[in-house]
Amino acid sequence: MVSRKSVMTLFCSPTCAYSHRTRFVLWEKGISADIEYIDVHHPPEDLIELNPNGTTPTMVDRDLVLYDPNIIMEYLDERFPHPPLHPMDPVSRARARMVIHRIDKDWFRLMDEIVKLSDKKAAKPRKVLRESLIASIPLFAAKVFFLSDEFSLVDCTIGPLLWRLPMLGIELPKHAEPIKSYAARLFEREGFQQSLSEYESEYPSLIDY
């Protein structure tokens, strides 16, 4: 899929969940793009020229440069409309965007805290994230995918987070089987497997816990 001669380039970290989200979309939609893995602590000069912050993911498509993972994901879905990963009608699309917003605010924010803090200080956000996921079990159980019968950008957002739970030190209880079943459906997708970097493919799996 990845063509070194393609116009589109995605600069990303091999371990960043936000970068993983965008790669998941790329592979699900079968988009040809250069994937450039970088060291976020020592970003290359060509990335700094495009994005002075040197953050990942950064996507370049001809003269367009995008820094935000959600904007990148939506752009890819609109630029390559088949298969669609966002609802077509405005109301459903707005609701999906709000779900992703809440996931970022409630779950990814806590994940970021866990990653940045020492193990002892990370105990609180780890506990909060675990409890929040457990409280959301009915949402995971309601549909085949998250709040939908169709695979969507919402699932592309959640998948990379769930893949990292064991690495974050979060173990789910037995009654969280709906979350594990949902995760298994995502992890088994060819797009998800192809989206994993070499580092991410070595993470312990939630399904095995």
Is residue 52 within 8 A of residue 4, CB to CB? The reply is no
Pairing of strands 58-61, 8-12: antiparallel
In the sheet that 34-37 helps form, which strands lie side by side, from edge to edge?
A: 34-37, 8-12, 58-61, 64-66
- Sorted by sequence, the CB contacts under 8 Å of residue 105 that are 6+ apart come out as none
AA letter at 39 = D
Pairing of strands 34-37, 8-12: parallel
Gap between the Cα atoms of 47 and 44, Å rounded: 5
DSSP classification of residue 13: -
Active-site residue, 16 included: yes
Set 8, 16, 17, 35: catalytic member: 16
3-class DSSP assignment, residue 144? coil
Distance CA 111, CA 129 (A): 8
Structure tokens at 45: 């000069």
27 in Cβ contact with 19 (< 8 Å): no
Compute the distance between CA of residue 16 and CA of residue 161 in angstroms, rounded to an integer: 10
Query: Catalytic residue numbers?
Result: 16
